[in-house]
Amino acid sequence: MIKLASIQRRYASDEVETTALADINLDVAAGEFLAIMGPSGCGKSTLLNILGTVDRPTAGQYMFGDRDLATLGEAALARLRGETLGFVFQSFNLIDELTIQENIELGLAYRNVPASDRKARTGAAMDRVGISHRARHFPHQLSGGQQQRAAIARAIVGDPKLILADEPTGNLDTQNGEQVMDILTSLNAEGATIIMVTHSPAHADIARRRIDMLDGRIISSVLRAL
Ligand code: ADP
């Protein structure tokens, strides 16, 4: 599904050049559940941003299916994101002025879904994560765990092939973190490919494969025994 070859990402300013990604080679097959770990500053967020097509590498090749993403312009990338990717963030990133239901419906923004189907799909996504009883509430009226479940509903309402999660349990207590991991695990079992950055070794162990990064490189890739 994804093939990264010799990916580099450098940030240049007048005085210093920072190498966020030095040389990343990574294949991700459809249906995988991959955890990315590593110390702060090793390049995890940069890698996730590149995978999510919101940042471009300075060098190297990113193949998504049979498409070389370097050949796509911004509009085509936005369409690819809207149609195939779902994002989950540590800080939930819900819009405060919109209700939970409206936030989740936003996940259909780039989808060609008739208005009549939007409500049904939004409802199904809310049911999926157990948040339907909060549909008309605003984000600040929900607990962190509920907000993250709503954010997952927004990510999955468009039925994305790939879910990118950046420390999805980082702001949650143990119990809510486990709920979120249970949801991600069952989404993966139903066919979604998941790439998750995490600082939690226990949560990384739930993924089928774990890669460790250091200084902009992947230093190990371990497949968990089933
Ligand atoms: P992690 O997510 O593992 O903490 P990041 O991907 O955020 O690491 O950062 C990797 C390196 O790239 C760090 O040294 C960071 O300071 C640098 N970096 C990240 N974003 C920028 C930026 N916009 N400008 C300059 N340097 C950056």
Listed in order, strand segments (DSSP E) in 44-181 are 59-64, 67-68, 85-89, 162-166
Q: Which atom of ligand 1 is nearest to the CA of 216?
A: 10
- The token pair at 139 is 């984000």
| Amino acid 226: pLDDT | 72
Pocket (CB within 6 angstroms of ligand 1): 11, 18, 20, 38, 40-46
| Amino acid 10: pLDDT | 96
| Amino acid 109: pLDDT | 83
- Going by their DSSP bridges, the two strands 33-37 and 193-197 should be labelled as parallel
Select the CATH number that applies to the domain covering 31-43+81-223 from these four: 3.40.50.720, 3.40.50.300, 2.30.110.10, 3.40.50.970: 3.40.50.300
Rounded to an integer, what distance in angstroms lies between the CA atom of residue 168 and that of residue 3? Answer: 24
| Amino acid 110: pLDDT | 79
Binning pLDDT at 50, 70 and 90, where does residue 15 land? Answer: confident
DSSP code for 42 = S
Residue boundaries of the structural domains of the chain = 31-43+81-223
- 18, 49, 212, 215: which to mutate for ligand 1, most atoms within 8 A of CB? 18
In the three-class reduction of DSSP (H, G, I as helix; E, B as strand; rest coil), residue 25 is classed as: strand
> How many residues appear in the chain?
226
Chain segment 40-80, per-residue pLDDT in tens: 999 999 999 999 999 999 999 999 999 999 999 999 999 99
38 phi and psi angles, rounded to 5 deg? 150, 160
Section 150-179 average pLDDT:
95
| Amino acid 77: pLDDT | 94
Please name the residue whose Cα sits nearest to atom 21 of ligand 1: 11
Give the bridge partners for 17, in sequence order.
12
Please name the residue whose Cα sits nearest to atom 7 of ligand 1: 45
Binning pLDDT at 50, 70 and 90, where does residue 195 land? Answer: very high
Section 110-134 average pLDDT:
92
Distance from residue 25's CA to the centre of ligand 1 (Å): 18
| Amino acid 112: pLDDT | 83
Distance from residue 9's CA to the centre of ligand 1 (Å): 10
pLDDT reading at 173 higher than 80? yes
Please name the residue whose Cα sits nearest to atom 12 of ligand 1: 20
Please name the residue whose Cα sits nearest to atom 13 of ligand 1: 41
| Amino acid 115: pLDDT | 86
Rounded to an integer, what distance in angstroms lies between the CA atom of residue 165 and that of residue 158? Answer: 16
Mean pLDDT, the chain, whole residue set: 95
Q: Which atom of ligand 1 is nearest to the CA of 45?
A: 2
- 17, 24, 45: which to mutate for ligand 1, most atoms within 8 A of CB? 45
| Amino acid 224: pLDDT | 87
- The structure tokens 């590593």 sit at 38
pLDDT reading at 130 higher than 90? yes
Q: Which atom of ligand 1 is nearest to the CA of 39?
A: 3
